[in-house]
Structure 1
Amino acid sequence: HLVHQAGGSGVKNRYGLKRGPIPRLQSFWDARAACNFIGGGTGTGLIIVAGLYAALGQPVLVPTLLGLVAVAFGLFMVFMEIGRPWRSMNVFFNPQTSWMTREGIVALPLFFFGGVAVVLHGTALGNTASVLAGLSAACYLYCQMRMLHACKGILSWCEPALKPYMMVTGVVEGLGVALCVPAVTGNKVAWSALAALLLLRALLWFGYAAALHSNRAPEDSRAEIDRLRWAYMLLGHLLPVLLLCLALLMASGPPAILAGLLAASSGWYVKLMIITRAAQTRGFAIPRTPVRGRGESRVLSS
């Protein structure tokens, strides 16, 4: 039986960390772990965009390159976070239970097809590889989303409303960065697609914040999300959409580039906050008294 209320100072162990039943900030994943979700989300978004271009017969090289670098950066940060880095090879040993293992396995075809798409850019085989890299990127992004959902001890991570948000924000971040690439900057369809995805991301963000309240997530987690809510809406959604509308009206690329950078960077910051700040554990409670022998257990008052 789990409880989610916050409060009280808690007892600290010899490392200065709180212990006991009171919800407390997790200390296992730090900014380096957040960088895995930032690099993985943005990188897969870029590769998905490149795959869509290739499927339409308009292959683009730079988004694929940037995407592979971003995903590699995220994985490298995880490698650096592990106390014994070479133990990271163990990630491949539990595909039946671990979404982190599945992420590592999916990374193999992602880098293979992405590499082929770069080397054979502009050829039919290169286009096919780019499409396959895009599909692998979508699977990689899905694994990252499920990694957070599998963290049942932290309500702000395992909240079901976070799953669609993580998928959409990854594509938004990738498309936002892709708009900085000359081959994509002038594409008005990409501008409109980013505006639509930003509106969808805003709705999903509000749904996630509301779900944390309705499901009684720890108070500190809710406070962190509430602190971000309106600034994120204004700087990460409303302003980029207005800039995209301006770009469409003026048929000008610079406002679209700025909109893409705002959309991507705001998503990065929110991921950092979700992983490092809005990450309190559930806490726990004993709902019945323990018994020995033939005694009867009784329900404890809440």
Structure 2
Amino acid sequence: MALEITASAVTQLQEKLSRLKGEIQKVIVGQDNILDEILVALLAGGHCLLEGVPGLAKTLMVRTLSQALHLNFRRIQFTPDLMPTDIIGTEILEEDHVTGKRFFKFNKGPLFSNIVLADEINRTPPKTQSALLEAMQEFEITYGGQTYPLDRPFFILATQNPIEQAGTYPLPEAQLDRFLLYIRIGYPTAQEEADILRNTTGTKKPKVEPVVNGEDILQLQGLVREVTINDDLIQYVAELIRATRPDTSTVSYVKEWVRWGAGPRAGQALILTAKARALFKGRYAVTMDDIKAMAYPVLRHRVLLNFKAEAERISTDDVTRELLQAVARVKGLI
């Protein structure tokens, strides 16, 4: 009976997911893989870092997602003068008009929302960036010795511009690791660009309807963890993550180009997002394709290259591609 209820619930929720993506695509042309990765992160209960040059609709994509969800949304424009209290909140002095007594009341900041767009996160100093750490990892905020839980679901999507680095503060590795996925947004195809010009320069404005609520998201996040993955794939993920570390890797490519490898959190992220992708695709078991697809956004910010790799324009995606093949070869999967 429980299986029947679960199967019925999954079917209904998956239909809502398809409608959710359809609502977003009323505004966003193309970027199918990017939308899939964002929705996978939402299902897995993690946060996303979106990187792309200006004009690729990063902010519009997040705003459209928020419009298609029955959830609270706040946008924070990160600037060099932004303070931690500007995002987490601060205490204000109030007076009880009946007794005349004064007291401090915590005034919640924009982080107390279901979906938070941290726009141009690398333009604010480390002190303000670090204010996000507790919220991202613990889903709570501590101020004045008191802890305030955040509403669930809680989803941070941060953006950054990779080409204009003047006056920026690169995110430290410890904070990068808190992002479940690091998603790179590229230029649209020729046909997609023509469609964008056609759709955005006229009078017609598409209306996005909210189709998924917070309870649906929490149910989906619970179902993600029930998706099965066999022991062989778990072992493959473990060996893949260990192979990213130069001191323990047997892959010469890694020893030549990598300075630091990924930690255990990368393996957890890869399995969890592979499960989310399987559910998103209508399956209840993880396949090798799920792991291969999610390995790139999971490892992109968790594998640190050396100076030689940067000089030779070797990217973390190149390393991930080589690792996927090398480990699969050793396991006899190719």
TM superposition score normalised by structure 2: 0.30
TM superposition score normalised by structure 1: 0.33
More strand by proportion, 1 or 2? 2
Higher relative contact order structure (alpha carbons within 8 Å, sequence separation ≥ 6): 1
More helix by proportion, 1 or 2? 1
